[in-house]
């Protein structure tokens, strides 16, 4: 019991320190105070990814060893993953409404795949509560825990497979894709700019830029920054960022 209390104390202290750093970080030049939401949003989803990976590991070990401690590990980790996925979805919606001008877009693969992952693991928890026999419960949950984890890489790489609101990973093996924030919209990274169109709500600018060698569409609220000229003479909003889970 003492060890559990110590672990809870360490976890609470670590979360308090992380939250303090997240909420006291300097505001972004364009997003202002809303940028601090990302400091909670992204780590929450990273923790959810880790938790679902532990659930898969515990499930595999139960199918192999048939020991209840592995089933308990998988169950507890799934609950943590659902909690932090919910936090990630909520903070992302708050940030999106403020910066993108919309809280949700079913056409965005990152948003949709994250929501599907959230409800699948809610189903995992519901499955455990629906079965009384501990062996049957552990077996069915273990199978679902192993299958469900395939959603983690799908969510993570969805920004590379499909280009909509979310940017690609901010940090990649071939370097950073984050803009420098220069007044010329970081022309070296924006030289793939094709065109700028007014958004359907009349308040957004849609810029098609190259990120990591691939073109993508970004919607940024016009009221959050100035439309500046690049070297090619086209318009682009800068600086800008969006949650990339990386």
Helices 35-65 and 134-148, axial angle in degrees (round to 10): 130
Delimit the domains of the chain by residue range. Answer: 34-164, 175-237
Contacts by 183-188 with C-beta closer than 8 Å and gap 24+?
Answer: 183/228, 183/238, 184/228, 184/229, 184/230, 184/231, 185/228, 185/229, 185/230, 185/236, 185/237, 185/238, 186/238, 187/230, 187/231, 187/232
pLDDT tens for 64-120 read: 999 999 999 999 999 999 999 999 999 999 999 998 888 999 989 999 999 999 999
CA gap 38, 102 in Å, rounded: 16
Separation of alpha carbons 60 and 74, rounded Å: 9
- Three-class SS state of 216: strand
| pLDDT tens, position by position, 24-80 | 888 888 888 888 898 899 999 999 999 999 999 999 999 999 999 999 999 999 999
What does pTM read for this prediction?
Answer: 0.72
Instruction: Show the DSSP H helices in the chain as ranges.
Output: 2-24, 35-65, 68-99, 109-130, 134-148, 151-161, 187-190
């Amino acid at each position: 019991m003492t060890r559990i209390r110590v672990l809870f104390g360490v976890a609470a202290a670590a979360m308090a320190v992380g939250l303090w750093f997240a909420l006291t970080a300097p505001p972004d030049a364009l997003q202002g105070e809303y940028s601090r939401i990302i400091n909670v949003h992204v780590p929450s989803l990273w923790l959810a990814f880790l938790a679902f990976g532990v659930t898969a590991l515990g499930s595999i070990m139960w199918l192999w060893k048939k020991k209840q401690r592995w089933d308990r590990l998988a169950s507890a980790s799934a609950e943590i993953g659902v909690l932090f996925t919910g936090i990630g979805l909520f903070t992302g919606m708050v940030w999106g409404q403020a910066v993108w001008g919309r809280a949700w877009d079913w056409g965005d693969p990152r948003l949709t795949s994250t929501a599907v992952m959230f409800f699948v693991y809610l189903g995992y928890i519901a499955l455990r509560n629906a079965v009384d026999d501990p062996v049957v419960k552990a077996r069915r949950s273990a199978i679902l825990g192993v299958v469900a984890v395939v959603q983690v890489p799908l969510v993570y790489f969805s920004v590379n497979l499909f280009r909509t609101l979310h940017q690609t990973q901010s940090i990649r093996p071939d370097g950073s894709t984050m803009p420098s924030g220069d007044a010329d919209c970081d022309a070296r990274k924006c030289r793939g700019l094709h065109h700028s169109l007014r958004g359907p709500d009349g308040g957004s600018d849609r810029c098609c830029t190259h990120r990591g060698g691939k073109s993508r569409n970004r919607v940024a609220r016009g009221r959050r920054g100035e439309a500046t000229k690049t070297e090619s003479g086209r318009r682009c909003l800068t600086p800008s960022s969006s949650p990339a889970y990386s």
